[in-house]
Amino acid sequence: MRALGALSLLMLLIAVLASALGVVWTRHESRVLFVNLTALQNQRDELNIEYGKLELEQATYAEPRRIDDEARQKLGMVDPRPQDIRLLR
C-alpha cells in the first residue's frame, strides 16, 4: 500500500511539473506572438502612410490642368482649329 501511495505522489508531482512547464511555454509563445503582432501592426501603419502619399501623388499627376500642361510642353499638342474639327454621325 505504501508503494502505491508513493507512486501516486510521484505521478501527481510529474503532472504538476508538466502543467507548470506547459504554462511557462504557453506564456513564452504568447509573448513571442505579441511581439510579432506589434511588428506587423507597425509595418501596416507604415504601409498605410506610404499608400496615402502615393494616392496624393497620383491625384497630383492625374489633375487635368497638369496633364494639359504636360501635353502642350512635352508633346507639342495644341487645341485644334475650328476648321480642323469634323463631326461624324
Cα(48)–Cα(19) distance, rounded to whole angstroms? 43
59 domain-assigned: yes
14 domain-assigned: no
- Mean of the per-residue pLDDT values for the chain? 94
pLDDT band at 11 (very low <50, low <70, confident <90, very high): very high
Domain that residue 68 falls in: 31-74
82 domain-assigned: no
2 domain-assigned: no
Q: Is the dihedral of CA 43, 44, 50, 54 positive or negative?
A: positive
69 domain-assigned: yes
pLDDT given for residue 3 in this prediction: 87
Q: H/E element holding 56?
A: helix 2-61
Residue 55, all three cell numbers: 494616392
Residue 15 predicted with pLDDT over 90: yes
35 domain-assigned: yes
- As a whole-number percent, the residues of the chain with pLDDT over 90 amount to 70
pLDDT given for residue 87 in this prediction: 87
pTM: 0.61
Instruction: Give the mean model confidence (pLDDT) for residues 1-5.
Output: 85
53 domain-assigned: yes
Residue 17 predicted with pLDDT over 90: yes
60 domain-assigned: yes
Q: How many domains does the chain have?
A: 1
Residue 86, all three cell numbers: 469634323
